[in-house]
Structure 1
Amino acid sequence: MTKRGSRRKSSKRAERAARAEAEGKRDFSALKLWSKRIALWGGALVLLGALFLAIAVGFAARSLPSFYQLKATQNAQTIVVRARDGTEIVELGPSYGKWLSSEEIPQVMKDAMISVEDRRFYSHPGVDIVRLTGAVIEGVTGERSRVGGTSTISQQLARNVFLNSNRTLDRKAREAVLAMALEWKFSKEQILELYLNKVYFGGGAYGIDSASRKFFSHPATELSTAEAAIIAGLVKAPSRYSPTADVDAAVGRASVVLQLMKEQGRIPQNATVDVSAVKLKEEAGQNSVRYFTDWALPQLDLLLPETFEPIEVWTTLDPGMQAAATAAVKANAPDGAQGALVSLDRDGAILALVGGTDYVETNYNRATNAMRQPGSSWKLFVYLAALEAGYTPEDRVVDTPVSIGGWSPRNSNGRNIGETNLRTAFAYSINTVAAQLGNEVGFSQVASMARRFGVTTPINTYPAMVLGANEVRLLDMTRAFAAVSAEGASVEPYGIVKVTTAEGELLYQHEKARSTQLIPDHVARGITDLLQAAVQTGTGRAAQIGRPVAGKTGTTSSNKDGYFVGFSSGITTGVWMGRDDNRRVGGLQGGRAPAQAFAAYMRYAVKDRPVEEFDTELQLPEWQLDEEDDYFFGDPDDYYYIDEQGNLIEPGRSDRPGGAIPFPEEGGSFGSEDGMRPRVPAPPPVERVPGPRPTGVGEDGAPQAIGDDFLDGAIGRDRPPPRPERPPRN
């Protein structure tokens, strides 16, 4: 290679190097230029983003409600239900407790919440950038499966008040904007006050005061360090760490809160706090009580003006009696069958109400909603109508086969006993006698009597109705027997005594319902005599409790329903048992399981009440003692009348406004020319078994010219011995 060729190659290499250097300088300049452009545009975008965020936060802050509006916001009403002795039996709905101002909230509660939920609360603008950046890095590096746990107290407040809990980027972005808007508009102390009064702690408790009362039975102003740690630990997972659900989990979480408080210097490092020693509120059983509250609380819509403030409802329910009623129904209900019980005090106050064997399994209330046939317990109304029409417990009747319009009832044992008295026929629930009585007094009169005593369900007046073929509610039947216990005065069941605000302001007070005399005194005493005989010697013997009891059993065809309703010492109780699908229950009879449940409950219910003897001494009115026509019809002021609208008017008060009682539509018209008809018309001729004729009265009812003693001696007739006086019934 020549020197010229060598110089030529060196020159080319130099040129290439120069070109490369020039290109490198150009590339560096371009990179520098683009870097400047990116920085410039990036900065501009950041400024625009910050401006947009500031505008968004500003607009959000302007649209936020005021602090006082946020304080007043409450999503639903809290109802605390109390028993007749004042003890709390159930709390329903979300509870917000009492609003505590920032000054009233214990500092230890603030410190505990900040330590576990937002340690930089006092330094960030609503979003914790340090916490958010760390979470993003952890998510990118795979150290965490998802980005989470970054919400500040301000963000949580924004979510609780304005948003939902969806885990989406859109919701998180709006949450951040609203959190900064809250920080813009309110002070840190105001935000913390709103948060501690609104955050959910589980069990329906919103706010620290509600949580403190629910878990520790005292207001939040009295919270200890350990209690504050338990409450603060609930926010992460209210159901998982609830002390009422899992004490160990709650204590473990509270220990974590206390450790964080020590690390952040909010409590001394050497502080000793025994979380396990905290006394938790005992949760009362709420199973069968809910049957009562489901019936009683809807009445608040009628009793109170519309209000959303927390209220306390004081009821008539007796906790001990409710427990005894629940146990009695469960212990005696046949396998596969349901049971219900209603117990009324003499003034109509509901002492116990059980709508089924298990509320959790089924909340259908069989005591107040179910319509089932009452069987022979319906004969109460048949015999009431007969007694009012002139019968007495001693009157003779005949148990014999009978046919009424093609209907031929039979007795449960398939036999007829022939001649007997009214008391025995009722005590042994003889169907043929009840059918004859219903036919004699009129089936519409029996329906009228049932309506008069509070039966609200439809009543058909075909003949089989005398044996309980109409469907009724247990509450209505119990109410009817309670009226008999009240010596014939009407009884109105009620369950709410008063309603107050959480601060004690009275909103409603129960007033005693006006009582109406439904039947004359002698009828009330006569039916009580019959009801007592049914328990003493008849079908209701299983209901005996060692003191006077009056009641009646009921069993429907194929043993589908069993009934017993009775009273003692001022308490009236009705029991029903059967299947919801209305299938037969083997061996179910009113005189067995229902009567046994009645007795089991009543032994507890009356244990602190004095023994009360029943008044069965008959004092018949003159129209039943004197057989002259004038007295047979009696004093018009003693009768009940039906007005043109079919309403029952009280004796002697037909012109009193509001004195009418609804009369059944069934049974046809009354056929009265003047629109008014005596409720007790002159009875049609009745074929009764001849009994002793009153002395001094002939066969035609006219006074005798010669005394009976003279006639007896003259014709040698043996006079029947005088009727012995009945001994007092125990």
Structure 2
Amino acid sequence: MASRSRTKSAPPARWKTVLKWLFGLGLGAALLGLLALVIAVYTARASLPSFDELKSSPNGQMIRVHAADGTVIVSLGPSYGEWIRYRDIPPVMRDAMIAVEDRRFRSHIGVDPIGVARGIQVSLERKRRVAGVSTITQQLARNVFLSSSRSYGRKVREGILALALERKFTKDQILELYLNKAYFGGGAYGIDAASRRFFAHAATSLSTSEAAIIAGLVKAPSNYSPTADADAAVERGRVVLRLMQQQGVPAAMGVDEADVQAVKLAPEPLRNSVRYFTDWALPQLEMLIDETVEPIDVWTTLDLSMQRAADEAIRANAPSGAQGALVALDRGGEVRAMVGGKDYVSSIYNRATQATRQPGSAFKLFVYLAALEAGHKPDDQVVDEPVTIEGWSPRNSSRRFSGSIDLRTAFAYSLNTIAAKLGLEVGFSTVADMARRFGITTPINTHPSMVLGTSDVRLLDMTRAFASISQKGVAVTPYGITRVTANNQVIYNHEVDTSRVLVAPYVAAGITDLLQTAVNTGSANAAQIGRPTAGKTGTTTSNKDGWFLGFSSGLTTGVWMGRDDARTVPGLQGGTAPARAFASFMRRAVASRPVEQFETEVTLPEWQLEPDEESYYGEPDNGVFVDADGNPVEQVPEQPRAAEQEEPREQDEAPPPDDEPQLDQEFIDRVTGRTPPRVTVSPIRQPPGVRDFGRTPPERPLARDQDVRPNQ
């Protein structure tokens, strides 16, 4: 019996041995694991950056774009506000974040075992993974050092880094880092960026309700961000407020949930015309600076007051159904204003830099430049007569020929025949080379009809050409970025190059004479701004495009108007809406600049006509349709739609009188007061509004300011 009893008691003894062995093994493994954890934590601690290094290493690159006066006009990429030190962070903000994200923050060692256990329990009950068990320290470790991938390996590294952070930094330092680096949605990193983004003020003046809303964004910034769902953000703020009150946060006790509901959120910034400029300028950074991940500040040439004036000028003057664009260049090529369309939100297509359209007689700038460089002078006599060039016979819109006239008069009346003869004389390839010399980057054909502006061009290029004339023939290169800084260090600085001379000063002076004459005649009065101004209009076939380009007081502005589908715009001519937009913008843009006289004498034809209609009583330059070879094509002009049939005439489009004068040299001399008229039995009848100055003796010509509005 005794031996049987001993046999029965043996197994329990063996189980005790096994259990003791397993316990010892587990304890040893735990000690080894603890030792490994301690080694890992202190190894991680040794490799952690210093507090100052962590402060200066934002996540991702931010680009802040400044206007000429330093105002931030666009922020791209993640947005960072001012770094707020712990003692300057409102206590209610600190309490709100701890209440909603980590109520035991002050007591745990970086990882909260109670929170982890609760998370595991909830996940088992709901049979799915539950987020939200990470402490503030763990979130900081993930935000700064790890990716957002959800894996157990990443969770282990997160825990080790959290323990290391707690060993290296104080609780206050950890909370300061977290509040300045956490993502709050809407591109805002840190409480200051979030406060400025959502409430339009610094985080140092956050109210309890605002702090509750910001604290509530961390859980799901994409869902709760006011930029995504303002109501959801406010509702989440009310939840945070209740948590603060449950945990006894003093600042939350006297606050009602209705106070959170009453918080005023900052309005969403409008995507205005400034974006046309930034969309053009910022891609140039790839060529200007080396690749960097540091936040950078881009300082630009944009003048916000001029930009507003340009935007308003285009919106107010572009015809219904048509688009408009404007570019303004300063002396050194600084882009002071750029409008690529009526509304950036509805169309981001930049018509100032991307669209290519026919310039009409504005292109004659290059024809006359080539002629002046070849030796012609504004007073040179030329003969307006029928001409045929390679089967192409240009005609003046008046359908008449003037005989012997000077270049100034031909330019003022924009006679197509004279432009064609000049092109033939100097060579059409020479005209094309002149255009390329002055910055035209689009292809230019060399068919005879090219003198009438049949090659497509960009508004920015044409404005650049006129700007180079305003600088007496010195090349002007448009630019929008003046300097780029990173960490307050200049990494790029623009230098203006004034070494390239395109034409001799006398050539620039001659063309300025012609351009100033054009602005001061006829319905081009719409472009006058009360100070010396030079410029040229352009109108294309069937009124599809209207241009005005000119300069005054060191500022050059180009305006284009037309439809994107290139259909007719009734009443659109260079001297109407584009000229009015030019004047509306320029009056405001140069108001604070001193009046500058041109270094050339202006000779005004007294016959007040808009030179680009064309000659007098005329139509657009390209009234003759031409094929790809420059030969005339008989074509019926596009008819306006029924709704456009009754489009009223513009005020400066009065129909010609029944008795049209013959445009010959006698008439030109008489209306310009250059020679006395011949004595005839039946004098030529003058059109309305034109005085006969032929009786003025040549030695005492009529003063210009008697019939032409003087430039103040």
Query: Of the candidates 549, 552, 569, which is equivalent to residue 568 of structure 1?
Result: 552
Aligned partners of 1:326, 1:296: CA distance in 2, in Å? 18
Aligned partners of 1:610, 1:148: CA distance in 2, in Å? 66
Do structure 1's residue 160 and structure 2's residue 143 form an aligned pair?
yes
Question: What are the Cα deviations for residues 510-569 of structure 1, in whole angstroms up to 9, with x where unaligned?
Answer: 545426554445433432332233333357454344554332122334555432212234
Aligned partners of 1:208, 1:480: CA distance in 2, in Å? 49
Q: Kindly tell me: are residues 349 and 116 of structure 1, through their superposed partners in 2, closer, same or farther at Cα, counting changes over 3 Å?
A: same
Aligned partners of 1:561, 1:160: CA distance in 2, in Å? 54
Aligned partners of 2:341, 2:31: CA distance in 1, in Å? 64
CA drift at 1:317 = 1.4
Report the 3-state secondary structure (helix = DSSP H, G, I; strand = E; otherwise coil) of the residue aligned with 2:511: helix
Match of 1:387 in 2: 372
Report the 3-state secondary structure (helix = DSSP H, G, I; strand = E; otherwise coil) of the residue aligned with 1:313: strand
Match of 1:591 in 2: 575
CA drift at 1:367 = 1.9
Report the 3-state secondary structure (helix = DSSP H, G, I; strand = E; otherwise coil) of the residue aligned with 2:561: strand
CA drift at 1:379 = 0.6
Q: Kindly tell me: are residues 592 and 34 of structure 1, through their superposed partners in 2, closer, same or farther at Cα, counting changes over 3 Å?
A: farther
Aligned partners of 1:210, 1:283: CA distance in 2, in Å? 14
Do structure 1's residue 62 and structure 2's residue 43 form an aligned pair?
yes
Match of 1:446 in 2: 431
- The AA in structure 2 aligned to 1:373 is Q
Pairwise CA RMSD? 4.4
Report the 3-state secondary structure (helix = DSSP H, G, I; strand = E; otherwise coil) of the residue aligned with 1:352: strand
Query: Of the candidates 465, 471, 479, which is equivalent to residue 456 of structure 2?
Result: 471
Unaligned 5+ segments in structure 1 are 1-25, 620-687, 693-719
Aligned partners of 1:75, 1:121: CA distance in 2, in Å? 24
Q: Is the 8 A contact 2:44 2:160 kept in 1?
A: no
- The AA in structure 1 aligned to 2:303 is D
Q: Is the 8 A contact 2:403 2:665 kept in 1?
A: no
Q: Is the 8 A contact 2:136 2:178 kept in 1?
A: yes
Aligned partners of 1:459, 1:583: CA distance in 2, in Å? 23
Q: Kindly tell me: are residues 136 and 386 of structure 1, through their superposed partners in 2, closer, same or farther at Cα, counting changes over 3 Å?
A: same
Query: Of the candidates 366, 375, 380, which is equivalent to residue 360 of structure 2?
Result: 375
Match of 2:193 in 1: 210
Question: What are the Cα deviations for residues 207-233 of structure 1, in whole angstroms up to 9, with x where unaligned?
Answer: 234334545666555656555444323
Match of 1:404 in 2: 389
Superposed counterparts of 1:451-462, under 5 Å: 451-462=436-447
Q: Is the 8 A contact 2:334 2:478 kept in 1?
A: yes
CA drift at 1:119 = 0.8
Q: Kindly tell me: are residues 268 and 294 of structure 1, through their superposed partners in 2, closer, same or farther at Cα, counting changes over 3 Å?
A: closer
Match of 1:344 in 2: 329
- The AA in structure 1 aligned to 2:62 is T
Aligned partners of 2:252, 2:277: CA distance in 1, in Å? 52
Question: What are the Cα deviations for residues 444-502 of structure 1, in whole angstroms up to 9, with x where unaligned?
Answer: 43234334433344444332332223333322211221232334444333333444456
Superposed counterparts of 1:595-674, under 5 Å: 595-617=579-601
Superposed counterparts of 1:531-542, under 5 Å: 531-538=515-522, 540-542=524-526
Match of 1:702 in 2: none
> Which moved further from structure 2: 154-163 or 220-229?
220-229
Report the 3-state secondary structure (helix = DSSP H, G, I; strand = E; otherwise coil) of the residue aligned with 1:119: coil
Q: Is the 8 A contact 1:291 1:359 kept in 2?
A: yes
Question: What are the Cα deviations for residues 103-160 of structure 1, in whole angstroms up to 9, with x where unaligned?
Answer: 6655443322111211112333444343344444445545x98623333223323432
- The AA in structure 2 aligned to 1:598 is F
Q: Kindly tell me: are residues 460 and 206 of structure 1, through their superposed partners in 2, closer, same or farther at Cα, counting changes over 3 Å?
A: same
Do structure 1's residue 555 and structure 2's residue 539 form an aligned pair?
yes
- The AA in structure 1 aligned to 2:455 is N
Report the 3-state secondary structure (helix = DSSP H, G, I; strand = E; otherwise coil) of the residue aligned with 1:564: strand
Report the 3-state secondary structure (helix = DSSP H, G, I; strand = E; otherwise coil) of the residue aligned with 1:201: coil
Superposed counterparts of 1:124-273, under 5 Å: 124-142=108-126, 147-166=130-149, 175=158, 179-180=162-163, 182-183=165-166, 187-215=170-198, 220=203, 225=208, 227-242=210-225, 250-268=233-251, 270-271=253-254
Match of 2:466 in 1: 481
Q: Is the 8 A contact 1:526 1:618 kept in 2?
A: no
Match of 1:428 in 2: 413
Q: Is the 8 A contact 2:549 2:558 kept in 1?
A: yes
Query: Of the candidates 70, 78, 82, which is equivalent to residue 62 of structure 2?
Result: 78
Match of 2:107 in 1: 123
Aligned partners of 1:262, 1:305: CA distance in 2, in Å? 52
Q: Is the 8 A contact 1:565 1:574 kept in 2?
A: yes
Do structure 1's residue 88 and structure 2's residue 105 form an aligned pair?
no
> Which moved further from structure 2: 457-466 or 99-108?
99-108
Report the 3-state secondary structure (helix = DSSP H, G, I; strand = E; otherwise coil) of the residue aligned with 2:342: coil
Question: What are the Cα deviations for residues 37-69 of structure 1, in whole angstroms up to 9, with x where unaligned?
Answer: 999979977986896687478547735751336
Q: Is the 8 A contact 2:208 2:251 kept in 1?
A: no
CA drift at 1:381 = 1.3
CA drift at 1:340 = 2.0
Which of structures 1 and 2 has the bigger CA Rg? 1
Q: Is the 8 A contact 1:397 1:689 kept in 2?
A: no
Aligned partners of 1:530, 1:216: CA distance in 2, in Å? 56
Aligned partners of 1:37, 1:266: CA distance in 2, in Å? 53
Aligned partners of 2:125, 2:31: CA distance in 1, in Å? 28
Aligned partners of 2:446, 2:422: CA distance in 1, in Å? 14
Report the 3-state secondary structure (helix = DSSP H, G, I; strand = E; otherwise coil) of the residue aligned with 1:149: coil
Report the 3-state secondary structure (helix = DSSP H, G, I; strand = E; otherwise coil) of the residue aligned with 1:327: helix
Do structure 1's residue 358 and structure 2's residue 340 form an aligned pair?
no
Q: Is the 8 A contact 1:57 1:178 kept in 2?
A: no
Q: Is the 8 A contact 1:57 1:180 kept in 2?
A: no
- The AA in structure 2 aligned to 1:196 is L
Match of 1:696 in 2: none
Match of 1:662 in 2: none
CA drift at 1:352 = 0.6
Aligned partners of 1:269, 1:207: CA distance in 2, in Å? 22
Aligned partners of 1:33, 1:165: CA distance in 2, in Å? 50
Q: Is the 8 A contact 2:79 2:188 kept in 1?
A: yes
CA drift at 1:402 = 1.8
Report the 3-state secondary structure (helix = DSSP H, G, I; strand = E; otherwise coil) of the residue aligned with 2:70: coil
Aligned partners of 2:345, 2:92: CA distance in 1, in Å? 39
- The AA in structure 1 aligned to 2:61 is Q
- The AA in structure 1 aligned to 2:112 is D
Aligned partners of 2:339, 2:391: CA distance in 1, in Å? 40
Report the 3-state secondary structure (helix = DSSP H, G, I; strand = E; otherwise coil) of the residue aligned with 2:479: coil
TM-score normalised to the size of structure 2? 0.72
Aligned partners of 2:352, 2:16: CA distance in 1, in Å? 82
Q: Is the 8 A contact 1:199 1:207 kept in 2?
A: yes
